[in-house]
């Protein structure tokens, strides 16, 4: 039995939980504890001990969620996986362009021949904005 089926029995089909073998609980302990630890990190850290009985830890998670009837929204959401959009070089130098009142052709020239200077100047300007 995989961890998805075990999670289903912890949250949704609670009456089928007794059918899960200790071996299945032990094999799925790491991923289940990690996923549940997103919302309850203190509890997960306590279970994350070297000598913890993994099957009993899963049983405790089952008891902890006794009143829950569905899988919580946070369970499947990725943690801190917000991808930042890469900005183009032109977007990076907009502050310089507006501050110095430069045209597009002037910016292209500076980007082509004075890239390092633009980077240094941009870094200085960003310090003041943050």
Confidence of residue 87 (pLDDT cuts 50, 70, 90): very low
Q: Report the sign of the C-alpha dihedral through residues 19, 32, 53, 26, in that order.
A: positive
> Quick one: 49 and 27 in the same domain?
yes
- Tell me, yes or no, whether 56 and 101 share the same domain: no
pLDDT above 50: residue 89: no
**pLDDT per position as a tens digit, 23-76:** 999 999 999 999 999 899 999 999 988 899 999 999 999 999 998 888 888 887
> According to DSSP H, which parts of 12-114 are helical?
22-36, 41-47, 54-64, 73-76, 89-92, 94-100, 104-113
Structural domain count of the chain: 2
pLDDT at residue 49, rounded to an integer:
86
Angle 67-70-74 from CA coordinates, rounded to 5°: 105
Span 90-95, mean pLDDT?
68
C-alpha closest to that of 93 among 122, 114, 115, 120: 122
Spatial separation of the C-alpha atoms in residues 8 and 1, rounded to whole Å? 11
* In a shared domain, residues 9 and 67: yes
Q: What is the pTM of this model?
A: 0.58
Same domain for 14 and 65, yes or no, is yes
User: Is 111 part of a structural domain of the chain?
Assistant: yes
**Position with higher pLDDT, 124 vs 56:** 56
Length of the chain: 130
Instruction: Examine the domain organization and report whether 69 and 114 are in the same domain.
Output: no
Segment 101-119, tens digit of pLDDT: 888 888 888 888 888 888 8
Domain that holds residue 95: 89-129
- Are 92 and 67 in contact by the 8 Å Cβ rule? The answer is no
pLDDT at 90: 47
Asked if pLDDT for residue 7 goes beyond 60, the answer is yes
């Amino acid at each position: 039995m995989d961890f998805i089926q075990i999670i289903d029995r912890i949250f949704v089909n609670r009456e089928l939980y007794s059918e899960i073998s200790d071996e299945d609980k032990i094999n799925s302990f790491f991923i289940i504890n990690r996923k549940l630890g997103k919302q309850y990190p203190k509890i997960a850290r306590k279970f994350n001990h070297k000598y913890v009985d993994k099957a009993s830890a899963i049983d405790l998670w089952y008891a902890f969620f006794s009143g829950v009837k569905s899988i919580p929204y946070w369970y499947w959401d990725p943690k801190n996986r917000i991808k930042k959009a890469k900005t183009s070089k032109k977007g990076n130098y907009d502050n310089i362009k507006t501050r110095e009142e430069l045209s597009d052709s002037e910016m292209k020239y500076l980007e082509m021949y004075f890239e390092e200077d633009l980077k240094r100047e941009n870094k200085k300007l960003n310090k003041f904005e943050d």
